[in-house]
Structure 1
Amino acid sequence: MNFTLLKHEVQATVKLFSIILAVLMLYIISIVYMYNPEMSTTLNKLTETMPELMSAFGMSNIGNTLIEFLSTYLYGFLLLILPLVFIIMSANKLIMGYIDNGSMAYLIATPNTRFKIVFTQAFFLVASIFILLSITTLVAILFSKILFPNELDISAFLTLNIGLFFLHFAISGYCFFVSCSSKDLRTSYAYSTGIPILFYLIQALSNMGGFLEKLKYFTIYSLFAPEKLTTQDSSSLWMLGALFLIGLLCYMLAIRVFVKRDLYL
């Protein structure tokens, strides 16, 4: 681990991290506050008005408990998309960004192996995602305790967020692999952005039901099932295992590719 490089990445990413975190916290607090009978009636009417659109974003089932309500309105869109924005921007900056602007030549010229450099960058990306999701989880629990004491099933909620972390761990592994293996920054952004967004759109279409439901087998998002995680269904365990293995394999391949590739600096 190169702690000097790690410190530099923290300082360089703090602005983007803070913006993403602020938006997430604002949205989470708003959703927790909306958990009341009057708002539930309004949301039910909205769902009846636009059933297909609400289903596409995983917001068709409001539920009868706080955790079901949060699962519907937090984990169908915002907690999938905003961390993804952070992952895409960070993963590309951490490797391909340095290669593109020529800074990688200076990093490699220092008394640090390629493995140490790429491992430091991979560790920073995973740690950033973990911290981001940990803070949002704690905020949701804290405000749920304040506004609706004893309403939130803490154990099930933590399981749900572990699943969310494994999902973003897998996606970040893919984005990091793309960053390590692409020929230029434009290509890296194209693939690291295009594929995850395509997977999300496929998931949105499958949520609409009917013959489109079979599309869920073609997206990684189908391995993240909030309804199974909140009930702590046993089938959710192999889904989490699959996400972890996908992420681990992608990070291992990314590190190997970067260490072995020819860099024209």
Structure 2
Amino acid sequence: MSIPLLKTELKSSGKIILLFLGIITLYAGIITAMFDPELGTGINALAESMPQFFAVFGMENPGITLLDFLNNYLYGFILVLIPFIYILIMCYKLVAKYMDKGSMAYLLNTHYSRTQIIVTQFMVLLIGLLILLLYATGFIFCVSEVMFEGELEVSKFLLLNAGLFLLEFFLACLCFMFACFFDELKFSVGFGAGLGLLFFLAQMLSQVDEKVEFLKYVTPLTLFMPEGLVEYESHSFMGLGVLLAGAAVFLAVGIMRFRKRDLLL
């Protein structure tokens, strides 16, 4: 790994990270503050009256505890989508932009190997992703303790965030692999963005209509099962294991492809 390159890329990514921290602060703060134990029954009744609308965003079972509320209103959609958008932007910035402009060869014109360079770029992506998710975890915890002291089941909440990280790690490795494969932006970024969009649409549709429920088997998003995780269900942990294994494969394939490919000048 190249430490000078790591420092340079992290510094240049600072504004992007701060932007996404602001977005997380806005959404997480507002939604966490909206929790009201007495309102839980009313929300459940509303969800029963409009099941398809709530199901689109994975909120068909809001629950009445703070953890249930966060689980459905943040971890069912919003905190999955926001880091994914960050991943797409960073895959463009760290790999695809260099490939598209033909400047990756100049970056490699150092004493560092191809493997060291591409691993460094991935570490920049991973560090930024960790910052976002650790911040989200800490911020939601602090807001919860200030406004609803003792309501949050901390151990389950931390497990939920660990599961979210593995899902985002999987998506990061997938998008990073495509960025390593192609020179043109429409392919290097487009494949990751397109597949991500299909994953989200498939998950939404599978939750809305039983006739297309089979679509949940074509999206890896369903391997992240928040409700199952907080209940310590074994199949939820198996799903995370599949995500981790898939991420390792995608990352290895991407690195091997980058090592062997011809680079434009």
Residue of structure 1 in register with 2:179 after alignment: 179
Residue of structure 1 in register with 2:148 after alignment: 148
1:103 Cα shift? 2.4
Residue of structure 2 in register with 1:193 after alignment: 193
Cα distance in 2 for partners of 1:162, 1:169 equals 10
Cα distance in 1 for partners of 2:261, 2:222 equals 33
Cα distance in 2 for partners of 1:142, 1:117 equals 37
Cα distance in 2 for partners of 1:68, 1:39 equals 13
Cα distance in 2 for partners of 1:261, 1:239 equals 33
Within a 5 Å distance, the mapping from 1:27-46 to structure 2 comes to 27-37=27-37, 39-40=39-40, 43-44=43-44, 46=46
Residue of structure 2 in register with 1:169 after alignment: 169
Greater CA drift, 243-252 or 34-43:
34-43
Cα distance in 2 for partners of 1:245, 1:92 equals 24
1:50 matched to 2:50:
yes
Q: Report how many aligned residue pairs link the two structures.
A: 265
Greater CA drift, 40-49 or 141-150:
40-49
1:32 Cα shift? 1.4
Q: Which amino acid is 1:148 matched to?
A: F
Residue of structure 2 in register with 1:101 after alignment: 101
Residue of structure 1 in register with 2:17 after alignment: 17
1:123 Cα shift? 1.3
CA contact (8 A) 1:159 1:232 kept: no
Unpaired runs of 5+ residues, structure 1, are: none
Q: Deviations over 1:127-180 (max 9, x none)?
A: 211121011001111111111111111111111111100001001101000000
1:39 Cα shift? 4.3
Q: SS at the partner of 2:61?
A: coil
CA contact (8 A) 1:92 1:175 kept: no
1:92 Cα shift? 2.1
TM-score normalised by structure 1 residue count: 0.95
Q: Which amino acid is 2:19 matched to?
A: I
Q: Which amino acid is 1:34 matched to?
A: M
TM-score normalised by structure 2 residue count: 0.95
Q: Which amino acid is 2:52 matched to?
A: E
Within a 5 Å distance, the mapping from 1:220-239 to structure 2 comes to 220-239=220-239
Greater CA drift, 243-252 or 230-239:
230-239
Within a 5 Å distance, the mapping from 1:106-145 to structure 2 comes to 106-145=106-145
1:209 Cα shift? 3.9
Q: Which amino acid is 1:93 matched to?
A: K
Cα distance in 1 for partners of 2:20, 2:197 equals 18
Cα distance in 1 for partners of 2:105, 2:77 equals 39
Q: SS at the partner of 1:96?
A: helix
1:204 matched to 2:204:
yes
Unpaired runs of 5+ residues, structure 2, are: none
Percent pairwise identity: 39
Q: Which amino acid is 1:229 matched to?
A: L
Q: Deviations over 1:41-87 (max 9, x none)?
A: 56346434532121011011111211011000001221111111100
Residue of structure 1 in register with 2:259 after alignment: 259
Q: Which amino acid is 2:43 matched to?
A: L
Q: Deviations over 1:20-42 (max 9, x none)?
A: 11111121111111111454356
Q: Which amino acid is 2:198 matched to?
A: L
